[in-house]
Amino acid sequence: MSAADETTPLRSIEESTEVPRSLEQTICDGIVDFLRTNSFVIKAGLAICLAKLYPPLGAIYLCPQITATWLAVIFIFCMAGLSLQSKEFARAATRLWFNVYVLTFNFCIVSLLVFGMTRGIRYLDLLSNQGLLDGMMVCACMPITVTMVIVLTKSAKGDEAAAVLLAAVGSLLGVIVTPALLLAYIGVQSDVSFPEVFLKLVLRVVVPLLVGQLLQTYSSTVLEFVTRNKPHFKGFQEWALIFIVYTVFCKTFSKPIKASIWDVLLMALFQGTALVVSMLLAWFSLKLLFRNEPRLRVMGLYGCTQKSVAVGIPMISALYEHDPHAGLYTLPLLIWHPLQLLIGSALAPELATGVERLEGYLATSSDGTRSSRRRSFFTDASVRDSFRQASSVAFTTPSQLSWPLTTSEQSAGGDALSSDAPITPVLE
């Protein structure tokens, strides 16, 4: 008997003696996965609770006018400049119409949809809190996420190169387009001049972003250091965002506000409705415009509707530094963030199956061997299964994610991300 034959029974014995996981272990693993996936939202919630306990700490004593609105915002956008791969922008000309459509939908169509919703809500007096309604508009004007859209596109077999490109271009455009949309939709306080707001935005957002891009291009030492320590910098960025949330809500709680728990719950319901309607509208419009390109349709579904927390929170802090409703403006974005991950993760397996199904049909059609009629991207059963998964996906392990992507990963369109790898939490 060979050595291989001798070890085979031993392996069988070891496999057969494996202890099945108990119900308690399964529940504990589910709780850990939930906490890991929603770690940022949980930390933000705790920061809001701490702000409520003693508002003067973050509103006065921590000097938020310097530490939060300047130092933290500058750090976040400098790191964003270091992680964005500007060389990918030259690829925009290859699919110009698709890129323009996705970015236009993300910035303009979603904001117009939410604008109509908020006007209807106000007219019907369903939600009277003006700060939360304006916060819904703030969320709708934010740019596309960076890492989350790439990861979900990869796991759903979408066009990864398009995701990398649009994530980078959308983030840079957001520096200009998002403030313009916000100022057009809800404006600024009457005692704040537009030139002053614009100057602060340039100094806090545009300049750090350009500095990060210059360091990425001309300083290999800095780039290697950041890449080598990217888990630490990712953590610093997350805590900088949490600090901004804390100080913003300290300012909000330092003055009387009229926002009840019922108002917040209603806002969350409206945000979920806006996200689902936006995804449906994006899906059917992409089906009409890019009927025979399933991978583009999948990428477009995510790209058209995702909104960035990493850009949104510091942007709110920079634009509405003295607005008493600044804290309420961040809440809808904190609701949209986990919802887009929840729904996107639940749909990814069915989208991947749909891509394979439609590509198989197109392949047989092109070589003249088509033997069946064109089938829908989804089957009825797969749709039902997707929405069943959406209710419990928070307790399952989603797909995959890393931050920030290395240069080789981004230039390869995210090839280093394996579709079989487990998902880790996304901060975008």
pLDDT above 90 as % of the chain: 28
| Phi-psi region at 372: left, alpha or beta (left = phi > 0; alpha = psi -120 to 50) | beta
Q: Look at residue 147 in the predicted model and tell me its pLDDT.
A: 76
Flag the least confident range among 124-128, 129-133, 320-324, 325-329.
Answer: 320-324
Q: CB of 343 within 8 A of CB of 307? A: no
Closest C-alpha to 107, from 264, 289, 311, 339 = 311
Flag the least confident range among 22-36, 72-86, 395-409.
Answer: 395-409
**pLDDT 10s digits, 312-349:** 888 888 888 778 788 889 999 999 988 998 899 889 88
**Neighbouring residues of 355: CB distance < 8 A, sequence distance ≥ 6:** 156, 157, 158, 294, 295, 298
Distance CA 142, CA 112 (A): 13
**What one-letter code names the amino acid at 135?**
G
**What one-letter code names the amino acid at 367?**
D
Q: Look at residue 310 in the predicted model and tell me its pLDDT.
A: 81
Please tell us whether the domain made up of 27-364+376-411 is placed in CATH 1.10.10.10: no
Flag the least confident range among 88-92, 234-238, 321-325.
Answer: 88-92
Q: Look at residue 401 in the predicted model and tell me its pLDDT.
A: 40
Distance CA 172, CA 116 (A): 27
Q: What is the mean pLDDT of residues 45-61?
A: 91
Give yes or no for residue 61 having a pLDDT over 80: yes
- Number of C-alpha atoms within 13 angstroms, CB side, residue 37? 24
Q: What is the mean pLDDT of residues 138-154?
A: 88
Residue 99 sits at the vertex; the CA angle it makes with 96 and 100, to the nearest 5 degrees, is: 85
Q: Identify the residue whose tokens are 């700490």.
A: 57
Joined together, the tokens standing for residue 81 give: 């400049």
Distance CA 318, CA 314 (A): 6
pLDDT above 70 as % of the chain: 76
Neighbour count for residue 1 (Cβ, 10 Å):
7
Q: Look at residue 314 in the predicted model and tell me its pLDDT.
A: 86
In residues, how long is the chain? 428
Backbone angles phi, psi at 94, to 5 degrees: -70, -35
Q: What is the DSSP letter of 260?
A: -
Give yes or no for residue 381 having a pLDDT over 70: no
Q: What's the whole-model pTM score?
A: 0.72
Neighbour count for residue 339 (Cβ, 10 Å):
17
Flag the least confident range among 213-227, 298-312, 364-378.
Answer: 364-378
Is residue 428 very low, low, confident or very high in pLDDT (cuts 50, 70, 90)?
low
Distance CA 329, CA 331 (A): 6
Q: What is the mean pLDDT of residues 101-129?
A: 95
**pLDDT 10s digits, 159-185:** 888 887 888 788 888 888 998 898 888
Q: Look at residue 141 in the predicted model and tell me its pLDDT.
A: 95
Q: Look at residue 137 in the predicted model and tell me its pLDDT.
A: 95
**What one-letter code names the amino acid at 213?**
Q
Instruction: Give the residue extent of every domain in the chain.
Output: 27-364+376-411
Q: Identify the residue whose tokens are 């965002």.
A: 241
**pLDDT 10s digits, 259-274:** 788 999 999 999 999 9
**What one-letter code names the amino acid at 197?**
V
Q: Look at residue 372 in the predicted model and tell me its pLDDT.
A: 52
Q: Look at residue 393 in the predicted model and tell me its pLDDT.
A: 40
Which residues in 220-231 are b (16+ Cβ under 10 Å) and which e?
A: eeebeebeeebe
Q: Look at residue 20 in the predicted model and tell me its pLDDT.
A: 64
Q: What is the DSSP letter of 373?
A: P
Distance CA 407, CA 168 (A): 13
Q: Look at residue 395 in the predicted model and tell me its pLDDT.
A: 36
Q: What is the mean pLDDT of residues 26-31?
A: 84
Give yes or no for residue 7 having a pLDDT over 90: no
Q: What is the DSSP letter of 255?
A: S
Joined together, the tokens standing for residue 253 give: 């709680």
Distance CA 135, CA 87 (A): 34
